[in-house]
């Protein structure tokens, strides 16, 4: 069994635990004894809230909605090209300020930073926010 130390993905407490892994599946967690917040304890979500990761509902492929209103699987190349092309079209017709971005408090610092860079440097808009507004 492999154990990987990480930070819980739920609330703002930021408890740490070891993820117990077998065959690329999360089979449990072990609290970290000397962590300044969790001190070897966890809440119910910290203990039990990770089985969603292998849930059959997980999105496994990029999806593009076709004219009939149904989503169809696409490759990453197709999905990224379609996204970039459509956004560029909208920006050239309506300007950057017609585009808005919701970044995510669920994502890492590095990802939020990149999202801000994408918004301001690539999409050339300043419309960026996230759920801290809620």
Binding to another protein (CB under 8 A) within 90-129 occurs at 90, 94, 96-129
The torsion of the CA quartet 85, 88, 93, 95, rounded to 10 degrees, works out to 160
Does 64 contact another protein by CB under 8 A? Answer: yes
What stretch of H or E contains 84? helix 76-94
Helix (H, G, I), strand (E, B) or coil at 75: coil
Residue 37: DSSP 8-state: T
Report the nearest approach of another protein to the CB of residue 124 (Å): 5
- Name the DSSP class of 118: I
Cβ partners under 8 Å of residue 119, min gap 6? 101, 103, 125, 126, 127, 128
Which stretch of DSSP H or E encloses residue 27? strand 25-31
Q: How crowded is residue 73: how many other Cβ atoms within 10 Å of its Cβ?
A: 11
Chosen residue from 45, 68, 70, 92 binding another protein by CB under 8 A: 45
Contact between 63 and another protein (CB under 8 A)? yes
- Cβ 108 to another protein shortest distance, Å: 3
> Per CB under 8 A, does 37 bind another protein?
yes
Asked if residue 132 binds another protein (CB under 8 A), the reply is yes
| 4-23 residues near another protein, rule: CB under 8 A | 4-16, 19, 21
C-beta of 68: minimal distance to another protein in Å?
A: 13
28 belongs to the binding site for another protein (CB under 8 A): no
Residue 44 or 68 having the CB closest to another protein: 44
Q: Exactly one of 65, 68, 70, 92 binds another protein (CB under 8 A); which one?
A: 65
């Amino acid at each position: 069994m492999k154990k990987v130390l990480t930070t819980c993905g739920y609330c703002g407490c930021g408890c740490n635990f070891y993820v117990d892994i077998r065959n690329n599946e999360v089979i449990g967690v072990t609290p970290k004894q000397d962590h300044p917040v969790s001190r070897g304890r966890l809440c119910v979500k910290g203990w039990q809230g990770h089985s969603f990761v292998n849930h059959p509902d997980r999105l496994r492929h990029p999806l593009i909605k076709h004219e009939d209103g149904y989503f169809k699987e696409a490759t990453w190349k197709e999905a990224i090209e379609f996204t970039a092309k459509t956004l560029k079209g909208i920006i050239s017709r309506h300007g950057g300020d017609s585009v808005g971005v919701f970044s995510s408090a669920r994502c890492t610092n590095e990802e939020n930073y990149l999202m801000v860079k994408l918004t301001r440097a690539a999409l050339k808009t300043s419309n960026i926010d996230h759920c801290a507004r809620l």
